[in-house]
Structure 1
Amino acid sequence: MEHPAAEKATPNQSNVSSSQADGGASVRVSEALEARLFETRQHSLDLAEPLSAEDMVVQASDDASPTKWHLAHVTWFFENFALRPHLADYRIFDDNFNYCFNSYYETLGPRHPRPKRGLLTRPTSEKVFAYRKHVDDALRRLLARNDIDRDEVTRLIEIGINHEQQHQELLLTDILALFASNPLRPAYQGQPVGLDTAEPTPLNWTEFPGGIVRIGHSGEGYSWDNELPSHDALVQPFKLANRLVTNAEWLAFMEDGGYATPTLWLADGWSAVNREGWESPLYWERSDGGWSQMSLQGLLPVAHAEPVTHVSYYEADAFARWAGKRLPTEFEWEVAANSTSKQMEKSQGVLRPQRSDASQGAGPKQLFGQVWQWTASAYLPYPGYRPPAGAIGEYNGKFMVGQHVLRGSSCATPSGHSRATYRNFFYPHQRWQFLGLRLAAEVE
């Protein structure tokens, strides 16, 4: 799905710069923010660089979107939310693009059906690149001006940066979905040297006392509006696994008939198993008497010690029941994340979850940078939540029904999106993202 995570930037003074003109202070958006903006814009192009023109057009499923569409949509976002309201002389690149590249903003007009984005052979990729340059040039003109609403433009640019970074992760997972459907099993990234034959590190538990805890973003720095407002919550004593569930443990679940035992499954989950024919995580396939998994590095043998990924909420919940444990609530996960200084743990540039490192000592590991972790919590607003005004308020609040919260971040997540309060969310049947789990239990 297009990732609908809500938007609310909290600008601070580091995002603006002042100069003296006509005896008074004239203010423009800071050079640091401008640099981050165009670094983000360039990184999207870098992610698309290994792809052919044909790769960029095709849509692997109704949930996924073509690379070309991602590149155009994030550009459309800047055009409609920053340039059109704040740059008086801005010239629309193509009026038809509002229909082609709107995602779900009802207040901004009708849009091309999501399941048919892969049919948009026109505009061509070359025209989309020209669109990006047109908008980038206009953004530079906007940010160079001293007569703009500095705070509002800063807020919108921050939102646009974070929005494009979210689509960078989606771009990668949608490429994986595309390449996994190709019988040639192409690799997006070079394959690793040698096979990781290590066994999982021991599974240990960390106990947490519970009590009244503070949940949500403090308001310092950037946050999405679904992380707000910060509020008190009651958490009962609990314990959390020190690492993520591994492929070896998932294989044991499969070999014990986990996908064939209805008593392990929620009713909707069991229906999904039978309707979709699930018998393993997404992208797993039998080969040479064992299992392989499609990855951004191509088709690789399933490595026992690596975290299991591409599993739905239904599968995660069934595994937890089979293990005699449960999934943590999102509040429990946040308490655990706030108890440790461990942050990003992914190997730089490796777009595949990595095994746990026993040398990191006690306490929860793999909180960030491996897989998004399913929680037992429905995706709901925090007490006192109010969506932002206007079209941008559609980005999040209207999705707060029927989905489940995931915490952490994945091997494809930009580093600025890894924080203890970040709330990701997907429907319980969805699997094509880097989705995994860790176990929790009551303190006996």
Structure 2
Amino acid sequence: MTTETHHESAPPAPPDLRERAVAALSAARARTAGLTDPVSDADLTAQHSPLMSPLVWDLAHIGSMEELWLLREVAGRESMHPEIDPLYDAFEHPRSERPKLPLLGPEAARRYAAEVRGRVFDLLEQTPLEGTALLDGGYVFGMIAQHEQQHDETMLITHQLRQGAAVLTAPDPEPSRGPAPEGPEVLVPGGPFTMGTSAEPWSLDNERPAHVRDLPPFWIDTVPVTNSAYQAFMADGGYREPRWWAPEGWEQIRTHDIGSPLFWRQEGGQWLRRRFGVTEPVSADEPVLHVSWYEADAYARWAGRRLPTEAEWEKAARHDPATGRSRRYPWGDADPTPAHANLGQRHLRPAGAGAYPAGASPLGVRQLIGDVWEWTSSDFLPYPGFRPFPYREYSEVFFGPEHKVLRGGSFAVDQVACRGTFRNWDLPVRRQIFSGFRTARDL
């Protein structure tokens, strides 16, 4: 009989920390270039939606955060350009106002980010990666790599909102060659498990600390809800029936005349969608994308189910009943590979439901990492023992019922910013993000 320990798995022994930091920072910068180089200067400086910054703001903000934390905080250097510091403070200027600011132009923003990066690489060669909380395990370098990748995802959202011809290309995901899922839902046994982490060296403050949660048994969807399943909700009048909707959600639907996921339209009896400048038929077997928390919640009610809590999602993704341990990822402790999950903008769409059997959890739940961010029913709140680090504005100021938690990452997320413990959050009205969901039910 196995004795459950309810511990989290420790990450594998890392390669040289400097090599890991250089690789993570370099991968992020290559992706940033891939998102900003293909578009004109006019596109870089335009605001494609009031919900998003101009791409050129993100580009210089990436450099500004890197300079602040790596050159000023770690190395104690003076500001390179103090006159622009306020322009790239995300809390000082809402996104809708940023086009009016005297921002650096495209070439100046590129030069600034490149100059910062050159100095950072020089610093990295000389800095001991230990001795302070910021430096231990190369944390601050990992934090900046994650920050840039998160802004790359934000810029990819801007590309989706952008009008005009397509400028980004990527191959489609390959069809799954493994065994099909065994059934539509999986039973997750009740009992305690370890949630969060105290061992992952680059985990962010809201993922910490590891703590034990005890849950009753529940059923969870084997795969995310698909476009075809969501279309059944639409065809049954789901957008016209107030009983499925939270009051605030119903108000949004009526006020904005919403009747389908964002970027969808019906033409000749067929549903089409616009995806990165290309109009195409909606793929029936892909996870539904660009739905708000209210839409996900309404579908779940219509289906006689509910959204999983954040703790349920994490238990389904990390808990190994055979050992009682919480894994780093559903498949184990090894970093993701293309066989495990659809990550890193390798594709510009989700893979079909049931893909990546190698990435399944011990219980057989699939696609918990990558493809689509998954809405949960939970508000974004701190874990017991939470301590803000290294600044309150990363997580703490967002705690409360205004924001709902999303888990798992999407095809737009890089693996450096995606773990079994990683927590994303957003307002429940948000639809431009790469969000989908799966449902759950009580035993």
**Same fold by TM (over 0.5)?**
yes
Structure 2: which 5+ residue stretches go unaligned? 1-9, 321-329
Whole-Å Cα distance in 2 between the matches of residues 194 and 219 of structure 1?
34
Shift of 1:50: 2.0
* Equivalent position amino acid for 1:45 in 2: A
1:425 corresponds to which residue?
Answer: 425
Question: Does structure 1 residue 144 correspond to structure 2 residue 145?
Answer: no
Whole-Å Cα distance in 2 between the matches of residues 345 and 14 of structure 1?
21
Change over 3 Å in CA distance of 1:358–1:52 after alignment to 2: closer
Question: Where in structure 2 are the equivalents of 1:24-423 lying within 5 Å?
Answer: 30-88=18-76, 90=77, 92-104=79-91, 111-120=92-101, 122-145=103-126, 151=132, 152-153=134-135, 154-178=138-162, 182=163, 184=164, 186-189=166-169, 204-296=184-276, 298-338=278-318, 339=320, 340-341=330-331, 344-346=340-342, 349-357=346-354, 360=357, 363-388=364-389, 392-401=391-400, 402-423=402-423
Shift of 1:87: 3.4
Change over 3 Å in CA distance of 1:149–1:97 after alignment to 2: farther
What is the DSSP-based 3-state SS (H/G/I as helix, E as strand, rest coil) of the residue aligned with 2:296?
helix
Deviations along 1:401-423, whole A, 9 cap, x unmatched? 21111111101110223321111
Change over 3 Å in CA distance of 1:245–1:123 after alignment to 2: same
Whole-Å Cα distance in 2 between the matches of residues 324 and 250 of structure 1?
14
Whole-Å Cα distance in 1 between the matches of residues 399 and 386 of structure 2?
11
Query: Quick check: 1:64–1:174 contact (8 Å CA) kept in 2?
Result: yes
Aligned residues: 406
Whole-Å Cα distance in 1 between the matches of residues 11 and 22 of structure 2?
14
Shift of 1:121: 6.9
Whole-Å Cα distance in 2 between the matches of residues 62 and 406 of structure 1?
22
* Equivalent position amino acid for 1:167 in 2: H
* Equivalent position amino acid for 2:397 in 1: K
Change over 3 Å in CA distance of 1:420–1:148 after alignment to 2: closer
Query: Quick check: 1:169–1:413 contact (8 Å CA) kept in 2?
Result: yes
Change over 3 Å in CA distance of 1:243–1:294 after alignment to 2: same
What is the DSSP-based 3-state SS (H/G/I as helix, E as strand, rest coil) of the residue aligned with 1:81?
helix
Whole-Å Cα distance in 2 between the matches of residues 148 and 194 of structure 1?
40
Whole-Å Cα distance in 1 between the matches of residues 171 and 267 of structure 2?
18
Scaled by the length of structure 1, the TM-score of the pair is: 0.83
Change over 3 Å in CA distance of 1:31–1:346 after alignment to 2: closer
Whole-Å Cα distance in 2 between the matches of residues 224 and 194 of structure 1?
32
Whole-Å Cα distance in 1 between the matches of residues 54 and 370 of structure 2?
24
* Equivalent position amino acid for 1:212 in 2: P
Whole-Å Cα distance in 1 between the matches of residues 156 and 18 of structure 2?
30
Whole-Å Cα distance in 1 between the matches of residues 56 and 124 of structure 2?
26
Structure 1: which 5+ residue stretches go unaligned? 1-9, 17-28, 105-110
Whole-Å Cα distance in 2 between the matches of residues 422 and 296 of structure 1?
26
Deviations along 1:257-313, whole A, 9 cap, x unmatched? 100100000011101111111100011112233111111262211011111010000
Shift of 1:157: 1.7
Q: Which moved more, 1:225-234 or 1:145-154?
A: 145-154
Change over 3 Å in CA distance of 1:372–1:35 after alignment to 2: closer
Scaled by the length of structure 2, the TM-score of the pair is: 0.84
Whole-Å Cα distance in 2 between the matches of residues 11 and 441 of structure 1?
32
Query: Quick check: 1:406–1:425 contact (8 Å CA) kept in 2?
Result: yes
Query: Quick check: 2:170–2:346 contact (8 Å CA) kept in 1?
Result: no
Whole-Å Cα distance in 1 between the matches of residues 273 and 181 of structure 2?
21
Shift of 1:119: 3.6
Shift of 1:47: 2.6
Change over 3 Å in CA distance of 1:193–1:350 after alignment to 2: closer
Shift of 1:55: 1.8
Deviations along 1:312-347, whole A, 9 cap, x unmatched? 000000000111111111111111111442764228
* Equivalent position amino acid for 2:108 in 1: K
Whole-Å Cα distance in 2 between the matches of residues 121 and 255 of structure 1?
48
Shift of 1:14: 5.5
Deviations along 1:21-79, whole A, 9 cap, x unmatched? xxxxxxxx734423432332233112322222222122233321222111111110011
